[in-house]
């Protein structure tokens, strides 16, 4: 086994270089989400962030965290316990903008629908995105899983930037989903 202290120092340096404000890796529960959100609120407040940016970053963070909770809970209940079902979230600061990066495992069969949704969102401009949001909200029957795709649209609207995502092969049944969202401080209204 590699020396743990060396790994930790390496991680620390990398995280500092990436201007990471906070990072969490582990099990996702409602309690963890509450704790992370409370800390994020505090971190944003400390940085004298504009109120609208604080609110948008918070909103994006909520949807991202709930997304991880939804997927990891689903996996845990499907009995796929041989896999590591932890999730990862990072809140960082690049020049004036904030960014949120998430990573979690999802079932391979969900990659298709998720890609389709995100591609659709990425093709729309702001006005079209708003209309899309209204349409989805209008006809949304809340599914057993929760939000019915509204969360991703909300993330795109609040961040004012494209969903930057990637899937990596994990094993025969699972993929690793990673997404970075930059919360732009100059959204055109």
Binding site for other proteins (CB under 8 A): 30, 34, 38, 50-52, 55-56, 58-59, 62-63, 66, 130, 133-134, 137-138, 140, 142, 146-148, 150-151, 153-154, 157-158, 189
Shortest distance (Å) from residue 157 CB to other proteins = 8
Q: Where are the alpha helices (DSSP H) in the chain?
A: 4-17, 30-46, 51-77, 111-123, 126-138, 150-159
Shortest distance (Å) from residue 39 CB to other proteins = 13
In angstroms, the CA 71 to CA 114 distance is: 12
DSSP notation for 20-37: EEEEEEE---HHHHHHHH
Helix orientation angle between 111-123 and 150-159, rounded to the nearest 10 degrees? 40
Beta-sheet strand order (sheet of 97-107): 20-26, 87-94, 97-107, 174-183, 164-169
Q: Of 40 and 174, which has the nearer Cβ to other proteins?
A: 40
Q: Of 92 and 149, which has the nearer Cβ to other proteins?
A: 149
Q: Of 29 and 84, which has the nearer Cβ to other proteins?
A: 29
Shortest distance (Å) from residue 63 CB to other proteins = 6
Which has the closest alpha carbon to 58: 73, 72, 39?
39
In angstroms, the CA 18 to CA 30 distance is: 27
Shortest distance (Å) from residue 170 CB to other proteins = 27
Shortest distance (Å) from residue 138 CB to other proteins = 6
Whether 97 contacts 184, CB under 8 Å: yes
Q: Of 2 and 141, which has the nearer Cβ to other proteins?
A: 141
Shortest distance (Å) from residue 13 CB to other proteins = 35
Q: Of 20 and 136, which has the nearer Cβ to other proteins?
A: 136
Positive or negative, the CA dihedral 131, 133, 138, 139 is positive
Q: Of 104 and 159, which has the nearer Cβ to other proteins?
A: 159
């Amino acid at each position: 086994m590699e020396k743990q202290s060396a790994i930790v120092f390496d991680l620390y340096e990398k995280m500092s270089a990436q201007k990471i404000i906070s990072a969490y890796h582990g099990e996702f529960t409602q309690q963890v989400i509450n704790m992370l959100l409370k800390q994020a609120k505090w971190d944003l407040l400390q940085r004298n962030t504009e109120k609208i940016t604080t609110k948008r970053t918070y909103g994006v963070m909520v949807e991202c965290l709930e997304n991880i909770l939804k997927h990891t809970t689903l996996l845990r209940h499907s009995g796929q316990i041989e896999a590591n079902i932890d999730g990862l979230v990072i809140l960082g600061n690049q020049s004036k903008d904030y960014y949120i990066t998430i990573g979690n495992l999802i079932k391979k069969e969900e990659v298709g629908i998720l890609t389709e949704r995100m591609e659709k969102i990425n093709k729309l401009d702001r006005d079209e995105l708003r209309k899309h949001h209204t349409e989805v909200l209008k006809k949304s029957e809340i599914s057993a899983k929760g939000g019915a795709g509204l969360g991703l649209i909300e993330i795109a609207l609040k961040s004012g930037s494209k969903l930057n995502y990637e899937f990596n092969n994990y094993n025969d049944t699972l993929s690793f989903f990673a997404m970075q969202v930059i919360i732009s401080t100059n959204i055109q209204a």
